Chain A
Amino acid sequence: MDLTLHVWRQKGPKDKGRLTTYKATDISSDMSFLEMLDVVNEGLIKQGIEPIAFDHDCREGICGTCSQVINGDPHGPQARTTVCQLHMRQFKDGDEIYIEPWRSRAFPVIRDLVVDRSAMDRLMQAGGFVSVKTGGVPDANTILIPKDDAETAMDAAECIGCGACVAACPNGSAMLFVASKVGQLAKLPQGRAEAARRVCTMTDAMLEEGFGNCSNHYDCEAACPKGISVKFIAQLNREYFMALPKGHKEKN
């Protein structure tokens, strides 16, 4: 199939950037979206044009590196699918496809479709962890966890930290990402001990990093390649409410 691509080209963080139109010809419907871009890039290199820079790593939908807004939809039109797992059979011959990077103040564009997502690493550093003593490996099943709690924590732990929630949110909020970490750790006895401090430090860090505020639009849940439920955002709010009487501890 033949396609017309409108791709965001931006030389560097300071460059203004603009959409550039390219033709993608002889594309197989069995190709993944990234393979299609590989083919386009080979053509660009042959013509002496700088290839399109885009993030990718595992190409099997688990690393959370690929990050493209395709026709206004983070990770493209197929639900619960990352860009690397999106296949060209989702498109028709002659389609026009707009490809843009994640747009957020917290994610500055480095080049073309590549953005700097280290703001999410700093959110994790603010409290997305469990403090444990290092040493010997503890015996299995010394802490018993009810099956339902383990399942819910696993649902939250599906988050691959790609940032599609931020890209989809009309407010550029990272609430679903933070909620999945808060929800996952608060459900488990190991994480419960620091739950109150975690919800405060992580939500504060979200504001400091320049993410927007959640106003319950739920575009994040629809865009999430892992289908993380917004029920975890309700849980985050509940955790914050319960943390109020406990007093705010200093950050680690």
Chain B
Amino acid sequence: MPLKHVIRSAVGRKLFMAATGIILFGFVVAHLLGNLSIYLGPEGINAYARQLHQLGPILWIFRLGLIGAAALHVLFGITLTLESRRARPVAYIRKKHLRSTLAGRTMIYSGLILATFIVFHLLHFTFRAIGPQIEMLDGGVVNVYRMIVDSFRQVGYALAYVVAMVVLFFHISHGFASLFQTMGMNNEVTLPWMGRMSRIIAVILAAGYVSIPALIFLGLVIK
């Protein structure tokens, strides 16, 4: 089937949503595992950052792949949502949500908030255009540990990250279960527990991420 036709088709674009969703989900898991190295102290996360940057071209292949996946995910997410909005020009006066969840119905908003957060996050820690003064270590590398701790001591940064990760919880709690359905990997056995499993995974990921700014701000564990 020509790619043009797949992209025009709604089900085809949903397959792209699921495939890019898997890539972005994989990144969210890997990024959390990397971040957790902060619990090993300055040596832990600084060593992780150094190793990551030593990957050189491989790191760039991953970055380009992620940018491509994120761009497609946002683009198709917006077009699919706009088509769905047009499908009901006159709204119900009374409408019950029989099964759908708030998280599911607000995917476009949680998605757009996350896209904005990613831009903010890149400006903050990748391009270091915003945030507190950066301390350099010997050999011209950034003291990543200090950069994170100094930022999250400030209520504004800590709060922004915590809120963004709560939004991430909403997005994944619907998105993870949804991608199995869209990829056709669901049947009467998996359907009853897919939603619950999705929420559990979303809680674990969001809690892992939230723990870092929360503990730093409160001055516990990570000092």
Contact = CB atoms under 8 A, between A and B. Distances in A.
A171 B87 contact: yes
Contact of A241 (B94, B174, B183): B183
**Range class of the B interface residue count:** 35 or more
B56 to A, nearest CB: 36
Contacts of A218: 99-100
A103 B92 contact: yes
Interface stretch (B5-13, B23-31, B39-47, B59-67): B5-13
A239 B5 CA distance: 16
A219 interface: yes
A207 interface: yes
Contacts of B1: 200, 243-248
A246 B80 CA distance: 25
B37 interface: no
Interface stretch (B131-139, B184-192, B204-212, B214-222): B184-192
Contacts, number: 147
B18 to A, nearest CB: 9
A206 to B, nearest CB: 7
What 8 A-B pairs come out closest when comparing CB atoms? Answer: A238-B184, A212-B87, A172-B87, A217-B100, A212-B84, A171-B84, A222-B98, A234-B186
Interface in A220-252: 221-223, 229-231, 233-241, 243-248
A214 B184 CA distance: 13
8 contacts: A72-B96, A104-B88, A207-B83, A217-B99, A217-B101, A219-B97, A237-B182, A241-B15
A203 B187 contact: no
A229 B188 contact: yes
